[in-house]
Amino acid sequence: MFYKFYSIAKNTFVEIIRQPVYAVIIAAAVFLFFISPSLTMYSLDDDNKLLREIGLSTLFIAGLFISIFSASTSITEEIETKTIITTLSKPVPRFLFILGKFFGVLAAVILAHYIFTVALLMSIRHGVMTTASDTTDMTVIMCSAASIGLALLVTAFLNYSYDFKFTSTAIVLLSIFATISIVFLFFIDKEWKFFPARNGFNLLDVYASVLLLMSLFIISAAAIMFSTRFNVLITLSCCIGLFLLGLVSDYTFGRLADSYLWATIGKVIVPSLQVFWISDAIYEEGVKISANYIMSCGIYGVLYSAAFIFLAVAMFQRRQIG
């Protein structure tokens, strides 16, 4: 049973990271992180706070599209191409198929989100050059350029010599080289000196990334649920609608839940994604994110993800495949 689950999850993960759209979204997001310090230097307030908020927004939106496309195509394409018949005839229980697909999608989402988080931390470490006396952080620029360059060079060699898949290999190698770079930057300051206390990183950004990842778990589970019955376009529309409703759930349903039944039902059905967005901690001094808050958000995300997966299993049980 575990071997079947592992095989489905592994194959799902490999298929997702080999998709061109997966690499395109990662490349576009990394590019946005790279140019974000230049785009946020014209605000009338603290430019670095705006940089942090734009970076987190890019992290959220890029992760949203990664999770939706990964989850929707992983099931829909197998149903449309009839390859799912071969899998289910092994035999593989349908609930195990859904669970394997879900965890394979989560692995792909976590990999992309990790790369985005490293790029976010690098852009925030560089900061916005608001005055003429500010200097470029060459350590960040050199480390980011080395990570991307080495990943592409090694991938080109492996692709030419051993026929490795270019996109998936480049993404995996980029995550490895990015890890080495972020560890290096943790200890080395702007002047290329060993000074960890002046590394420019903030634990708040890591907390924000973890909270956004939890919200992506919910979106991925919802995309799996919708894809058991609908095609990619409808699944994409439903997930974006759920995302937008989740951002305004407290205002739309929460404030009216005590007065109207429909608002109470909407508050229960639609997860509040606003709890994972900590913009208040960026602009308000003294606001801190505690471990208890992260744990409660984690439980909240797990419960909603489990509920969507349970519904996905129930909807998939009666789905005609042949």
CB 196 within 8 A of CB 136: no
Task: Give which of 44, 39, 33 is closest to 125, Cα–Cα.
Answer: 33
Give the tens place of pLDDT for each residue, 100-137: 999 999 999 999 999 999 999 999 888 876 665 667 88
As beta bridge partners, residue 88 has none
What share of residues in the chain are helix, strand, coil (percent, to 5)?
A: 80, 0, 20
Res 82: pLDDT = 77
Segment 177-198 mean pLDDT: 89
Domain boundaries, the chain: 2-317
Phi, psi of 45 (to 5 degrees): -110, -155
Mean predicted lDDT score pLDDT of the chain: 88
Q: Is 57 exposed, middle or buried (0-12, 13-18, 19+ CB in 10 A)?
A: middle
Give the tens place of pLDDT for each residue, 215-241: 999 999 999 999 988 888 888 899 999
Confidence grade of residue 285 (pLDDT, cut at 50, 70, 90): low
Give the tens place of pLDDT for each residue, 18-68: 999 999 999 999 999 998 887 776 665 666 778 888 899 999 999 999 998
The DSSP element (H or E) to which 92 belongs, if any, is none
Res 322: pLDDT = 60
Distance CA 79, CA 178 (A): 36
Q: Is 304 exposed, middle or buried (0-12, 13-18, 19+ CB in 10 A)?
A: buried
Q: Which residue has the tokens 């669970």?
A: 99
Confidence grade of residue 193 (pLDDT, cut at 50, 70, 90): confident
Res 199: pLDDT = 81
Say what the pTM is. Answer: 0.93
Task: Tell me the angle at which helices 47-81 and 20-39 cross, rounded to the nearest 10 degrees.
Answer: 170
Distance CA 181, CA 140 (A): 8
